[in-house]
Amino acid sequence: MSNEKNTEKTQKHYLTSKEIKAIAKENSKVMKALEKKKYRKAVESEFVTTMKDDKNILEIEDLHTYFFTDQGVVKAVNGVSFNIPKNSTVGIVGESGCGKSVTSMSVMRLLQGPQGQIYSGSIRFKSEEFKRDAKGNPIPVFVKDENGADTQVQATSSSGAPLFEMEEKVLDIAEMPISEIHRIRGRQISMIFQEPMTSLNPVFTIGNQLDEVVFIHSPGATKEMAKKRSLEMLELVGIAAPERVYNSYPHELSGGMRQRVMISMALICDPRLIIADEPTTALDVTIQAQILDLLRDLKDRINGSIMLITHDLGIIAEMADYVVVMYAGRVIEQGTVSEIFHNPMHPYTIGLQKSKPTMDSDSDTLFNIPGNVPNPVNMPSHCYFKERCSKCIGKCSGDYPGMIQVSPTHYVACHLYGEEEKNG
């Protein structure tokens, strides 16, 4: 890695042409290898694994996602590990540029290549796959007659989609070649994006874009079936005139309506995991509350999990079961929502809590954490928060602190708590 070189010249404002060439050479070598891996043909056994804990739906372990830029390697996600248990909402908080969105993009494998690459780590996902016969076709489930024998009629789900036999498999998304990723994307993990205004294709009708998802993911779906399902979903997300919206183009809808459409698109295949990447940032507050209520209702209804990315602590407090706090590409603290809110341990989390406006404070000014996130190209080897931290101790100049367990669910990466852990 060219990183050693970069750390030496930390305070330089420009790179010499020699250094730029060296970086470019190194980058293209690594990028080429990673791209090759991404487009390789792989047998399934290469990316089928097992879960560490069977209660989880997603386990991210030591994920490194890098961007190979002309200035050097940006380690946007630098060793992130956390789990998403079944039927729970995990909130990911942190300031802009801390790697929240890149983590979610890594899970969806939507990183802009060839610059953005998952460098190492694993993302294990418990996937529900179609059972396939020898020819590779999904095996349909047939309606049983009184004697228990199969009839020739294929069973359908409550929404009218034809049913197939399913099996559970654990897939390592980080190891999957990109040609296999459509098994997961959209059907099992779906994503709600931050910008509803630009996230829908302007030249197709809403109906067309919704039906498309049904067509890809349920084999044998007919046009009527897809339309029925789409209208059902539009109604589910609280759109009053689904038939009208179905035939509209995105530019004919308001921002809140478009986000509802995005949500219905994400939910149309009953995904096991919904990644909501700041789903309410672009919306006004009244719509925000409605959208969040909607997400919570839907989560229970389809029995899925939500990975909620936001920098709004209020949303986290309201929605999440577990919270992961990220800073500069690393997880610095994680725990249940009450542990994070009532007993924040990392100075950064404490600072975040303090900088939240409250109704009962008399102060005119809002607390802010001084300083900025360090330059992502030249990360120091000590704790990334050291320069901004008010509780620095001598040990902070040493190595990056490891994760310390303070309760069965609460972890923190800070030197302040290292000794306690050893004693306790």
Partner 1 sequence: MLKYIAKRLGQSILILLGVSLIIYILIRCMPVSFIEDKIAQMNQGGATIPEETIVAMKEMYGLQDDSFLGILKGYANWLGNLCQFDFGDSFKYGAPVIDIIKRDMGVSFAVALVATFFEFMIAIPLGITAATHQYSIRDYIVTILVMIGISLPSFFFAQILQNIFSLELGWFPFQGFFNASTDSSPIALFFDKCYHLVLPIVTVTVLSIGGRMRMTRTNMLEVMNSDYIRTARAKGLKERVVIYKHAFRNTMIPLVTSLAGLLPSLFSGAMITEQVFNLPGIGNTAYTAMMAADIPFIMGYNMFLALLSVLGVLLADLMYAVVDPRVKLQ
* Rounded-to-integer distance, Cα 390 and Cα 347, Å: 7
- Nearer to partner 1 by C-beta: 3 or 205? 205
257 lies in the site for partner 1, by CB under 8 A: no
Write down the least CB distance from residue 268 to partner 1, Å.
Answer: 9
Which amino acid type is present at position 19?
E
Which one among 79, 114, 177, 255 touches partner 1, defined by CB under 8 A? 114
Residue 299: partners with Cβ closer than 8 Å, 6 or more residues away? 87, 89, 274, 305, 306
Cβ atoms of 28 and 117 within 8 Å: the answer is: no
Write down the least CB distance from residue 333 to partner 1, Å.
Answer: 29
Which one among 262, 291, 324, 332 touches partner 1, defined by CB under 8 A? 262
User: Following DSSP, what letter does each residue of 236-280 receive, concatenated?
Assistant: HTT-S-HHHHHTS-GGGS-HHHHHHHHHHHHHTT--SEEEEESTT
229 lies in the site for partner 1, by CB under 8 A: no
Output b/e per residue, 402-411; b: 16+ Cβ within 10 A: eebebeeebb
Which one among 120, 137, 151, 198 touches partner 1, defined by CB under 8 A? 198
What is the DSSP pairing of strand 89-93 with strand 322-327?
Answer: parallel
Size of the site for partner 1 (CB under 8 A): 30
Among 45, 157, 65, 47, residue whose Cα is nearest residue 106: 65
Which one among 185, 229, 330, 410 touches partner 1, defined by CB under 8 A? 185
Which one among 125, 164, 193, 384 touches partner 1, defined by CB under 8 A? 193
Which one among 26, 128, 180, 195 touches partner 1, defined by CB under 8 A? 195
Residue with tokens 């929240």: 100
Stretch in the footprint of partner 1 (CB under 8 A) among 108-116, 119-127, 154-162, 391-399: 108-116
Which one among 142, 204, 400, 417 touches partner 1, defined by CB under 8 A? 204
Stretch in the footprint of partner 1 (CB under 8 A) among 120-128, 136-144, 169-177, 192-200: 192-200
199 lies in the site for partner 1, by CB under 8 A: yes
Among 39, 352, 295, residue whose Cα is nearest residue 177: 39
Write down the least CB distance from residue 190 to partner 1, Å.
Answer: 7
Which one among 126, 187, 330, 410 touches partner 1, defined by CB under 8 A? 187
What is the DSSP pairing of strand 89-93 with strand 72-85?
Answer: unpaired
112 lies in the site for partner 1, by CB under 8 A: yes
3-state helix, strand and coil shares in percent for the chain, rounded to the nearest 5? 35, 25, 40
- Nearer to partner 1 by C-beta: 247 or 372? 247
Cβ atoms of 70 and 2 within 8 Å: the answer is: no
286 lies in the site for partner 1, by CB under 8 A: no
186 lies in the site for partner 1, by CB under 8 A: yes
Among 49, 48, 183, 178, residue whose Cα is nearest residue 129: 183
265 lies in the site for partner 1, by CB under 8 A: yes
Write down the least CB distance from residue 187 to partner 1, Å.
Answer: 6
Cβ atoms of 333 and 406 within 8 Å: the answer is: no
Stretch in the footprint of partner 1 (CB under 8 A) among 61-69, 190-198, 318-326, 389-397: 190-198
110 lies in the site for partner 1, by CB under 8 A: yes
Q: How far is CA 266 from the centre of its chain?
A: 13
* Rounded-to-integer distance, Cα 194 and Cα 199, Å: 8
201 lies in the site for partner 1, by CB under 8 A: yes
Which one among 57, 93, 171, 191 touches partner 1, defined by CB under 8 A? 191
Write down the least CB distance from residue 119 to partner 1, Å.
Answer: 20
- Nearer to partner 1 by C-beta: 221 or 262? 262
184 lies in the site for partner 1, by CB under 8 A: yes
Residue 368: partners with Cβ closer than 8 Å, 6 or more residues away? 355
Cβ atoms of 387 and 369 within 8 Å: the answer is: no
Beta strands in 328-393 (DSSP E): 330-336
- Nearer to partner 1 by C-beta: 78 or 117? 117
Write down the least CB distance from residue 203 to partner 1, Å.
Answer: 5
Q: Interface residues with partner 1 (CB under 8 A)? A: 108, 110, 112, 114, 178, 182, 184-187, 190-191, 193, 195, 198-205, 212-213, 216-217, 249, 251, 262, 265
